[in-house]
């Protein structure tokens, strides 16, 4: 009996599984692939972040437009614009029925900056925001620019709504949720910005660098509501209404 078929089968099997001469990827090729994947990942990450920042900018512009419409409706009914210190309570219902909820900045949930024209809410107002895209054409459309911002002392505020005077006109930059910092040099405040304090007039105000350690703010509060529970003051209050001991010193 011939077993030539068995010998032939073994040769075929040995040939089929012989990997000699077959090479894998070299280290250089692996590094090239990893580098390409890394570059693509970075590009996708940067593109994603850019889209997120543009979405936040769009929300900021929508928020200010909603405020503008609400302020004009308020003016039509009251022949005066509302006191923009209500912007402090972003997320609150202070502007109802003209606006369901006072908007907050979409990134840090802090209030938008607003103040009156020459100290008179009836004369006009300005509300400022900080767009992340510095090349957004809307910046110039509203009268601001990349160098001077919206002509506020902090030029990072580069988008605004304004009524009563041109953007470049003189404004009272004290009335509003963020008081104007003092011009004189002073030590860094020991209180964390973003807290709430009882201002010298007895109202609750958003803590900024205008309130220095020497201002003698005895306490800070985590929210406007928490502060208001202690103060209960919506305007200039007497010492009987709000004791001087719990106010920031003048």
Looking at every residue in the chain, the average pLDDT score rounds to 75
Q: Are residues 166 and 210 in the same domain?
A: no
Q: Is 208 within the bounds of a domain?
A: yes
11 pLDDT band (50/70/90 cuts)?
A: low
Lowest mean pLDDT, pick from 184-188, 208-212, 223-227: 184-188
- The last residue of a domain, from among 178, 201, 220: 178
Q: Is 14 within the bounds of a domain?
A: no
Ranked by mean pLDDT, which of 32-36, 66-70, 150-154, 186-190 comes out on top? 66-70
Token pair 């090349």: residue: 135
Q: Are residues 99 and 193 in the same domain?
A: no
pTM of this structure: 0.53
188 pLDDT band (50/70/90 cuts)?
A: very low
176 pLDDT band (50/70/90 cuts)?
A: very low
- The last residue of a domain, from among 178, 198, 216: 178
Q: Decide which of 2 and 182 is more confident.
A: 2
pLDDT at 248: 79
Main-chain dihedrals φ then ψ at residue 234, nearest 5 degrees: -110, 0
1 pLDDT band (50/70/90 cuts)?
A: low
Q: Are residues 129 and 159 in the same domain?
A: yes
171 pLDDT band (50/70/90 cuts)?
A: low
Q: Decide which of 132 and 186 is more confident.
A: 132
Q: Is 18 within the bounds of a domain?
A: no
Q: Are residues 100 and 223 in the same domain?
A: no
- The last residue of a domain, from among 137, 156, 178: 178
Please tell me the distance from the alpha carbon of residue 215 to that of residue 11, in angstroms, as a whole number.
96
Q: Decide which of 20 and 129 is more confident.
A: 129
Q: Are residues 154 and 48 in the same domain?
A: yes
Beta bridge partners of 145: 149
Please tell me the distance from the alpha carbon of residue 42 to that of residue 213, in angstroms, as a whole number.
44
Q: Are residues 164 and 129 in the same domain?
A: yes
In the 3-class helix/strand/coil scheme, how is 178-231 assigned residue by residue? CCCCCCCCCCCCCCCCCCEEECCCCCEEECCCCCCHHHCCCCCECCHHHHHHHH
Please tell me the distance from the alpha carbon of residue 172 to that of residue 126, in angstroms, as a whole number.
10
pLDDT at 189: 39
Q: Domain range spanning residue 37?
A: 29-178
pLDDT at 62: 93
């Amino acid at each position: 009996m011939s077993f030539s078929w068995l010998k032939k089968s073994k040769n075929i099997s040995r040939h089929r599984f012989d990997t000699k001469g077959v090479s894998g990827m070299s280290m250089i090729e692996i590094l090239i692939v990893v580098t390409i994947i890394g570059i693509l990942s970075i590009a996708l990450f940067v593109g994603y972040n850019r889209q997120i920042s543009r979405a936040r900018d769009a929300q900021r512009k929508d928020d200010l437009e909603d405020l503008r419409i609400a302020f004009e409706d308020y003016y039509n009914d009251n022949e005066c614009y509302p006191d923009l210190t209500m912007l402090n309570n972003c997320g609150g219902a202070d502007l109802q029925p003209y606006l369901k909820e006072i908007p907050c900045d979409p990134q840090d949930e802090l209030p938008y900056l607003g103040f009156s024209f020459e100290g008179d809410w009836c004369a006009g107002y300005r509300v400022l925001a900080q767009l992340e895209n510095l090349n957004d054409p809307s910046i110039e459309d509203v009268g601001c620019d990349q160098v001077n911002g919206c002509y506020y002392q902090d030029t990072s505020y580069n988008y605004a709504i304004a009524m009563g005077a041109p953007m470049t006109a003189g404004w009272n930059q004290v009335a509003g949720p963020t008081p104007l910092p003092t011009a004189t040099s002073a030590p860094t405040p020991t209180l964390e910005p973003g807290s709430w304090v009882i201002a010298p007039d007895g109202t609750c105000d958003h803590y900024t660098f205008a309130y220095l350690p020497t201002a003698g703010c005895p306490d800070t509060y985590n929210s406007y509501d928490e502060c208001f529970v202690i103060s209960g003051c919506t305007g200039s209050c007497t010492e009987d209404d709000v004791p001087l001991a719990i106010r920031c010193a003048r």
